[in-house]
Structure 1
């Protein structure tokens, strides 16, 4: 045994557990459609297990007997007592963890990760007391959320980008001002902090978006290869998703077969439906970097403004009041968007900023006095 085969063995045990879990859910599921879906998921997990079993046997590693873990037995027991809906949230988390685990392993495991994400999407559609009939409504709700998600995400990114710039530069400026340095030094420090933070945020955002695009391109390439090498399995996965969207077994199979006749259309559909990815959701790395730079700069400029027109204690007080008022407004906006208390969110954000600025100002005063 070595690190690689140890990893394969753990993968085998996890896939066997997944198959045993879905088989147990199918046994105790009263809804025939849901039971059939669980059996199909179990079959997919068995196929995954066979992949790792073959690799282990090829390396001469003894394969242990197929026994479900205590966790799986407990989940099946709960499903028998309370119904499958009671355990689906935990199963969803497991599928998400499996997909992430396989993504990190790379190679053949990355292809399995795509199927694990498809399983999670199927389970999400089943999650509900009246699914699969209720799956259509649930999926519809999720899609409405996604349609508004890009805009809401942009708003949140703008708000928190400005907040980062404001809090970090306010703390920096008040710390330097507390040390009693010349007004010109405070301004230079403030603008240096603005540029340093803005460039750092922009670089981070550029790297993040570019990495996401690279990952998406890799996933698309892997999906394209799966369509070419195993079209039957891809058709089965797609049909399973369509069934959870309300189509009958025959309609789902026919629709999946029709889609797979056109390779380009099939690839686009599988990327969206099986992987849950939308290429249009990822913007330009340069655009994201520019937006992040701008919003951080706007926030970081706020505490500098009073020092452009005055200096000393009046500038410190004005900077703190101006920044506190804007932060309270930003916090209130966050509370409004998240559906929580506007006042509590406003006070929390302003209070945390006041704490950070107060600490840095006190440290500046102490070091300034020590140097003097």
Structure 2
């Protein structure tokens, strides 16, 4: 007999439709990308910030009428200062987050030790509210009570939304952000470093870098590559346009 369930919840799965000789992707432990390592968000944020920051800096000082040598100096200073700031910021933020998670997990461990029955009842209530039959929820909660470590992992996932065994590395986040910011920031400087002095060329190369970075990110998110690239290009263009206008106004008034 199948336990009664609320309409629209806890659907049956016809396992007999999956031949035993065919292994579905869900059974492959490596078929998902690593979303908890901390490097992808930091790398994307660093690269985009490096591109937008230096494109905007170059547009601002270029709009103010400064010579190419000063533009290069401004861009290099922005690259170094921004990369260090991004790396330190990522390390501090990820480490702080990990310390907060560790403190909450320790609190949950103490509650499991002092009130195991109440914590098991809490899991049962959570699962039944999602459509799991009560008898199944109670059976699973009873099994977890006999394994404190596994019970802690379940409670951390259900109540905190984290896995205590899979926390991002602050060092990985810091270096990803530092390196990717540096790479992004050097892109709009390339024409000047190669001997060209046209501002429009530097901004054009930066725009290509923005579009390419956005398209590359789409590989991880399964979004449209051209849509992701165009979004980053428009955001960077807005920032560059604003700083160019401000730089032009300051340059005119200072002149």
User: Is TM (by shorter chain) over 0.5?
Assistant: yes
**Residue 323 of structure 1 corresponds to which residue in structure 2?**
206
In structure 2, what is the Cα distance between the partners aligned to 1:171 and 1:164? Answer: 10
In structure 1, what is the Cα distance between the partners aligned to 2:151 and 2:93? Answer: 28
Question: What TM-score do you get using the length of structure 2 for normalisation?
Answer: 0.77
Q: Against the structure 1 CA distance between its residues 200 and 235, is the aligned structure 2 distance closer, same or farther, given a 3 Å change threshold? A: same
The 3-state SS of whatever aligns with 2:10 is coil
Compute the RMSD of aligned alpha carbons: 3.4
Q: Against the structure 1 CA distance between its residues 356 and 239, is the aligned structure 2 distance closer, same or farther, given a 3 Å change threshold? A: closer
Q: Against the structure 1 CA distance between its residues 324 and 270, is the aligned structure 2 distance closer, same or farther, given a 3 Å change threshold? A: same
Contact 2:39 2:172 in 1 (8 A): no
Question: What TM-score do you get using the length of structure 1 for normalisation?
Answer: 0.55
How many pairs does the alignment contain? 239
**Residue 205 of structure 1 corresponds to which residue in structure 2?**
90
Asked which structure has the greater CA Rg, the reply is 1
Q: Using the TM superposition, give the Cα deviation of residue 230 of structure 1 relative to its aligned residue in structure 2, in angstroms.
A: 1.4
Could you say which structure has the higher helix fraction? 1
In structure 2, what is the Cα distance between the partners aligned to 1:229 and 1:151? Answer: 30
Residues 251-294 of structure 1, C-alpha deviations (whole Å, 9 max, x = no match) = 43233223222333332332234433112432221221111111
In structure 2, what is the Cα distance between the partners aligned to 1:232 and 1:177? Answer: 68
| Runs of 5+ consecutive residues of structure 2 not aligned to the other structure | 14-25
Matches within 5 A, 1:50-199: 130-133=8-11, 147-148=32-33, 150=35, 154-199=39-84
Q: Using the TM superposition, give the Cα deviation of residue 250 of structure 1 relative to its aligned residue in structure 2, in angstroms.
A: 3.9
In structure 2, what is the Cα distance between the partners aligned to 1:365 and 1:243? Answer: 63
Q: Using the TM superposition, give the Cα deviation of residue 323 of structure 1 relative to its aligned residue in structure 2, in angstroms.
A: 1.0
Q: Using the TM superposition, give the Cα deviation of residue 341 of structure 1 relative to its aligned residue in structure 2, in angstroms.
A: 4.7
In structure 1, what is the Cα distance between the partners aligned to 2:109 and 2:156? Answer: 9
Contact 2:47 2:183 in 1 (8 A): yes
2:215 corresponds to which of 321, 326, 332:
332
RCO higher in 1 or 2 (8 Å CA, sep ≥ 6)? 2
In structure 2, what is the Cα distance between the partners aligned to 1:303 and 1:268? Answer: 46
**Residue 184 of structure 2 corresponds to which residue in structure 1?**
299
2:173 corresponds to which of 266, 282, 288:
288
In structure 2, what is the Cα distance between the partners aligned to 1:343 and 1:287? Answer: 29
**Residue 239 of structure 2 corresponds to which residue in structure 1?**
356
The 3-state SS of whatever aligns with 1:279 is coil
| Runs of 5+ consecutive residues of structure 1 not aligned to the other structure | 1-30, 35-128, 136-140
**Residue 347 of structure 1 corresponds to which residue in structure 2?**
230
Q: Against the structure 1 CA distance between its residues 248 and 364, is the aligned structure 2 distance closer, same or farther, given a 3 Å change threshold? A: closer
Q: Against the structure 1 CA distance between its residues 250 and 204, is the aligned structure 2 distance closer, same or farther, given a 3 Å change threshold? A: same
